[in-house]
Structure 1
Amino acid sequence: MKKTLAIISFCLFTIVACKEKTTLTTATVDSNETFETMLKDYYEDGLKLNPVSATMSGDNRYNEQYPNPLSQDHIDAMKNYYNSYKEKIASYDSSNLTDSQKMSLDILKWECDINLEHLSYKNHQYFPIDQMWTANLTFGQLASGAGAQPFNTVDDYKNWQLRVDGYLQWLAMAENNMREGVKTGYVLPASLIKKIIPQLNEMTVTDVKKHLFYSPVYTIPESFSNEEKETITIEYTNMIADKVIPTYESIHDFMENEYLEAGRKSSGIDAIPNGEAYYNHQIKLYTTTNMTADEIHNLGLKEVARILSEMEQVKNQIGFEGDIKAFFNDVRSNPKLMPFKTPEEVIANFNAIHETMKPQLEKLFDAKPKTPFEVRRTEAFRENSASAEYNPGSLDGTRPGIFYTPIPDATKYNVYSDESLFLHEAIPGHHYQISLTQESKTLSDFRKTLWYSGYGEGWALYSESLGKELGLYTDPYQYFGMLGAEMHRAIRLVVDTGMHAKGWSREKAIQYSLENEAEPEAGIISEIERYMANPGQALSYKIGQLKIQELRAKAKAEMGDKFDIRQFHNQVLETGCVPLALLEEKINSWITATK
């Protein structure tokens, strides 16, 4: 009897337990599906607020739109967007989510908090234009007809006209905001203003057929009827003559006269209202850490000293007689390192670097992107102030990833750092990291277009250290170029914090760079002014690189024979861009699971 009761009790318990398990499993599945829907909504709502991002990703649903990010309506909409999703995030129990979803939840929390913090400052309103980073430069790329904006159909040409109308409203408000900024203490350094003026002047050429915005007319598809071609030509001519040129003339004249006269002499962001707090925010934004300016400055000094020691060894290997500063000057001016006559030769050299490393990539990577890749010369209108850069391909892979390199004068183009530059900007740097993220079948859409500079630039700088493993750096000058590129990022830790937190002048930062790296003076000046325009961004490279190197060394030490460099790279790359703390948690979990 007791045995029978025990069996009955066990059966009843089993039935109840099964029911509870089924209920919990169903609840978990429902929660997971609801969570994924919320992530998709976040991504879709974000595209509506920033339709140019949609275009850049190859999503053409909003190609005619350009909402004004300076308008109060748009700022309020952005704040409401992030606040509403913060509330939605709080309703989810992370214990019911998968590991990937838990990371998405943590990332979304970070996204909402850091963006709301950013919107609490006035800098984005009063500094809408600089020489390096701002929407006018991106829009110029779209206007060229060779960027992400499509010009394949008649509707494409109409969409662009509508987008131009919205952009010109932004440009007019940018002028008004900068005028207001002068009154309230938010004004750019005069040295930066001087670099913006020629960029704006490029857009005031009165010969419409030579204007950048006329470029799409030259590439009207042959399939268009003669009437369509004529209509587009007339409409674009009128658009440029009646709208584009007058708006640019207005802001150019304001910038050249009133704004330049008001330009501040100080270099650091701490000179503007609430500047110290803003810089602390920028450090957090770009490094995704809680490091202080002092900690970063001291780390930079240590890294500069370490890399200088390695540079001395390469100098001695080459057989150069003289001190390191003399060697820097020799590298800057050595005719053997400036062998090219035409921009095409520069591009061909980068393609040759790619061919050299192709056979070795298998040893370090078993995941490679399908998105095509190209090397192109930077467009003329922004070439003099631009650095080499990578523009991602479209999400569907139909538009290639593009490595842009400025070549203002091919005869003065120095090749000594080309191998490390290609590893950073192209393969396996930004092209692998961004394309693999975009091609992922497991990541939520919103994570495919995220950008965290600490991770993204950290990976690219880490990629430079892979050169010997990829069959490069056989020429000591190219290895010196890698050290020079790393030194360049170490110097950034010193000069960025120096200018924005320690009262350094632009001139002191330039001099410090000249004494510790072999970059040409013109390039160093451009770089220092870049840091002035976007405080904190330059810190992300070295902070991210050091973290990835630290995690690789830890994994190798703890996993021993089980360590596989390809699997380590998969672990780093498969998450897409994430704050560094989340990357560290993931790698630590992988190490533990593998052990």
Structure 2
Amino acid sequence: MNASRIVPFSAMLIAMTLVCGFLSTIISSKVAAQERRSADEQLRELYETEFAWRQHEMGKIRNERGEWVDAGRWPDVSAAAQARRLEYWNAALEQLARIPRDQLSAKALINAEVFEQIITSRASNVRFRTYEAPLNSDTFFWSGLHPRMGGFDNAQAYQRYIARLEDLPRYFQQHTANMREGLARGYSVPAVTLKGREQSLLPYRAAGEENPFYAPLKAMPSRISEAQQSALRKQALEAIQTAVVSAYTALFEFMRDEYLPGAREDLAARSLPDGEAFYLAQIREYTTLDLTPEQIHEQGLAEVKRIWAEMQAVRDDVEFEGDMAAFFEFLRNDPQFYARTPAELLGVSSYVAKRMDGKLAETLGFLPRRRFTLLPVPDAIAPFYTGGRGGLNSCLMNTYDLPSRPLYTIPALTLHECAPGHALQAAISREAPGDIPEFRARNYFSGYGEGWGLYTEWLGSQLGIYQTPYEEFGRLSYEMWRACRLVIDTGVHYYGWSREQAQDYLRRHSALSEHELTTEVDRYISWPGQALAYKLGEMLIRRKRAEAEEALGAAFDQRYFHDVILGLRSVPLSVLESELDRWIADGGQNPYADVDWLQR
């Protein structure tokens, strides 16, 4: 064989080796892609099945537009139903564990982590039997069961509503049975935090059209015929008389005569059955972080010290002569800081919201179409409700006891609850581009959501929303309030603080009124762990923003930073941190750059 033939043959071998290697790479890639799709598909089937099952369990059905709406019944909340759900969720977690995480796509991996946090928390709550205390100092299972404003779109929705009214006795009886079991084993809300809360039941004992449950029947859409409207009103009045009034009367008597006298006297979650494990589970649920009470307490003390120095700087800026305690008294008592009518307070909040509207284009890249309204907190719950609360359709401002509602805190409160806080956040969750599964779009993690809300209060300073040093001090007082929560929540539930000790700590470090600090401390006592979410979430967001500004320099655009956060919808804080790290590493790009209709 001569050399002239050997060279082409060698070249052919090399070429064949290269081709085989190339084909092997393609095949391996296709196999890997197939495995990844298979893992993604397993996960999708798992979370879609669970979410649909959970909606039915919670008393929901799909309407004619495919939306989840209330069915003609309330959920089954019996102990047997709770056990059934725990069995289902345990099985779902086992199934999730069998899906190889390293074979999931990047988007599916987020879905898996979100789903795991949701189901772990739900299973944990059933395991600790939290359903035996379905209330706290400002939120009760018997409130919010009818629309706050307006009615329903069609006759079928009204018929389902009336069926729910007829189902109220059964629903309340199940809750009552659960609460009795809780009392028997020493698991209840502390009695001191529920004083007078039974009064919120009284408006629902009114007969006829004065009952709040009749409100949706007063103005009905014209597409429903007059004859249908008349029939529906008659059915509603009968249901109110035979079911609603009796259900609320029986519940009022149970709360007054049995639950409140029998509720526990001690305060700490740690003193409950298996209390230390329970408190750690609540911390994990609300913060989505693996932190100990000791770690949180120390972080709180450090934040209190930092914010205190900033508050002192504002006091010096207004040239107040006196120490901080005297400044607090001045802020709590000077008439210039207080509204004279509910309309005045609502007007200040509305003006802040409109000023923020003018800043939204420089704050966010994606803006939703949905709008929210401003409403006063309903009279029945206002005496012990928080200063405000925002959601998808409305932003509530508390106008009860105006001398306890300083106007200098209203700008921060409005940013947090309305826009760019919770109301806007909820609308973006529904409308933002991106393939977000339904179970994520309709989920809410407190660490993420409340962290964003508190961050927007700080953001107001960067945007020039606060017009006076007093409003800036109001923001700082609110931030201090959230930092104190880290100290107080862990102080009460882990270190055994008294109610008076917690109130005194908040009183010494913030300008909150006596009414506010009393209702707030009662809330922390009756709702272990929830108050920790705000500051821990906000601290993470501000820390990641500082890292982004340093890493990206002039390329940093806060619109894109905010779009990344809100575009994720609600995720555990660990996921939020990793996704922001990824965004920074990729150069801080517009996350919606490929969405054509947003670039027009």
Distance 1:525 1:438 in 2: 35
Deviations 1:107-155 (A, max 9, x none): 2222222322222102322x1233322321232xx25554xxx523222
- In the TM superposition, residue 168 of structure 1 has moved relative to its aligned partner by 2.8
- 1:197 is the counterpart of 2:198: yes
- 1:311 is the counterpart of 2:327: no
Distance 2:462 2:76 in 1: 47
**1:426 matched to which residue of 2?**
418
SS at match of 1:594: coil
| Code of the aligned partner of 1:136 | W
| 563, 569, 573: which one aligns with 1:580 | 573
Distance 1:200 1:113 in 2: 33
| Code of the aligned partner of 2:437 | S
Inter-CA distance 190–30: structure 2 relative to 1 (3 Å threshold) = closer
Q: Is the 8 A contact 1:361 1:470 kept in 2?
A: no
Aligned residue pairs total: 578
Q: Is the 8 A contact 1:131 1:195 kept in 2?
A: no
After TM superposition, the structure 1 = structure 2 runs for residues 92-171 of structure 1, keeping only pairs within 5 Å, are 92-125=99-132, 127-139=133-145, 142=146, 144=148, 146=150, 150-171=151-172
- In the TM superposition, residue 172 of structure 1 has moved relative to its aligned partner by 1.4
| Code of the aligned partner of 1:544 | G
Q: Is the 8 A contact 1:455 1:577 kept in 2?
A: yes
Inter-CA distance 369–540: structure 2 relative to 1 (3 Å threshold) = same
Distance 2:239 2:196 in 1: 27
- In the TM superposition, residue 331 of structure 1 has moved relative to its aligned partner by 0.9
Inter-CA distance 312–132: structure 2 relative to 1 (3 Å threshold) = same
Distance 1:463 1:322 in 2: 31
- 1:82 is the counterpart of 2:89: yes
- In the TM superposition, residue 102 of structure 1 has moved relative to its aligned partner by 1.1
Deviations 1:326-372 (A, max 9, x none): 1111111211111432x233222222112223333322322222221
Moved more, 11-20 or 83-92: 11-20
**1:398 matched to which residue of 2?**
none
SS at match of 1:465: helix
SS at match of 2:571: coil
**2:587 matched to which residue of 1?**
594
| 505, 515, 539: which one aligns with 1:522 | 515
| Code of the aligned partner of 1:253 | E
Inter-CA distance 15–286: structure 2 relative to 1 (3 Å threshold) = closer
**1:384 matched to which residue of 2?**
383
**1:275 matched to which residue of 2?**
275
Inter-CA distance 177–546: structure 2 relative to 1 (3 Å threshold) = same
- In the TM superposition, residue 192 of structure 1 has moved relative to its aligned partner by 2.5
- In the TM superposition, residue 185 of structure 1 has moved relative to its aligned partner by 1.5
- In the TM superposition, residue 427 of structure 1 has moved relative to its aligned partner by 1.1
- In the TM superposition, residue 106 of structure 1 has moved relative to its aligned partner by 1.8
After TM superposition, the structure 1 = structure 2 runs for residues 539-558 of structure 1, keeping only pairs within 5 Å, are 539-558=532-551
Inter-CA distance 358–3: structure 2 relative to 1 (3 Å threshold) = same
| Code of the aligned partner of 2:571 | V
Distance 1:11 1:554 in 2: 46
| 56, 71, 75: which one aligns with 1:48 | 56
SS at match of 1:451: coil
- In the TM superposition, residue 222 of structure 1 has moved relative to its aligned partner by 4.2
Deviations 1:386-428 (A, max 9, x none): 11444533xxxxxxx3111111245764211111111111111
Distance 2:90 2:15 in 1: 55
**2:494 matched to which residue of 1?**
501
Q: Is the 8 A contact 1:145 1:151 kept in 2?
A: no
Q: RMSD of aligned C-alpha atoms?
A: 2.5
Q: Is the 8 A contact 1:193 1:263 kept in 2?
A: no
Deviations 1:9-42 (A, max 9, x none): 5445545554444444445445444543443333
Q: Is the 8 A contact 1:436 1:573 kept in 2?
A: yes
- In the TM superposition, residue 513 of structure 1 has moved relative to its aligned partner by 1.4
Inter-CA distance 274–30: structure 2 relative to 1 (3 Å threshold) = closer
After TM superposition, the structure 1 = structure 2 runs for residues 236-255 of structure 1, keeping only pairs within 5 Å, are 236-255=236-255
Moved more, 128-137 or 317-326: 128-137
**1:173 matched to which residue of 2?**
174
Moved more, 112-121 or 264-273: 264-273
Q: Is the 8 A contact 1:388 1:425 kept in 2?
A: no
Inter-CA distance 339–114: structure 2 relative to 1 (3 Å threshold) = closer
**2:394 matched to which residue of 1?**
402
Moved more, 531-540 or 165-174: 165-174
- 1:484 is the counterpart of 2:477: yes
Moved more, 360-369 or 520-529: 360-369
**1:560 matched to which residue of 2?**
553
SS at match of 2:358: helix
- In the TM superposition, residue 521 of structure 1 has moved relative to its aligned partner by 0.4
Inter-CA distance 81–517: structure 2 relative to 1 (3 Å threshold) = same
| Code of the aligned partner of 1:345 | E
**2:357 matched to which residue of 1?**
358
- 1:3 is the counterpart of 2:14: no
Inter-CA distance 22–177: structure 2 relative to 1 (3 Å threshold) = closer
- 1:325 is the counterpart of 2:325: yes
Q: Is the 8 A contact 1:468 1:474 kept in 2?
A: no
SS at match of 2:72: coil
| Code of the aligned partner of 1:245 | V
Deviations 1:370-393 (A, max 9, x none): 221221111222222211444533
**1:294 matched to which residue of 2?**
294
Identity within the alignment, %? 27
- In the TM superposition, residue 214 of structure 1 has moved relative to its aligned partner by 1.7
**2:406 matched to which residue of 1?**
414
Moved more, 368-377 or 59-68: 59-68
Task: Structure 1 unaligned segments of length 5 or more: list them.
Answer: 394-400
SS at match of 1:404: strand
Q: Is the 8 A contact 1:47 1:54 kept in 2?
A: no
Distance 1:8 1:237 in 2: 85
**2:374 matched to which residue of 1?**
375
> TM-score by structure 2 length?
0.90
SS at match of 1:403: strand
- In the TM superposition, residue 530 of structure 1 has moved relative to its aligned partner by 0.9
Distance 2:320 2:383 in 1: 32
After TM superposition, the structure 1 = structure 2 runs for residues 220-239 of structure 1, keeping only pairs within 5 Å, are 220-239=220-239
Q: Is the 8 A contact 2:280 2:292 kept in 1?
A: yes
Q: Is the 8 A contact 2:191 2:264 kept in 1?
A: yes
| Code of the aligned partner of 2:357 | K
Deviations 1:222-259 (A, max 9, x none): 44444323322222222112211122112211221233
Task: Structure 2 unaligned segments of length 5 or more: list them.
Answer: 1-8, 589-600
Distance 2:173 2:290 in 1: 37
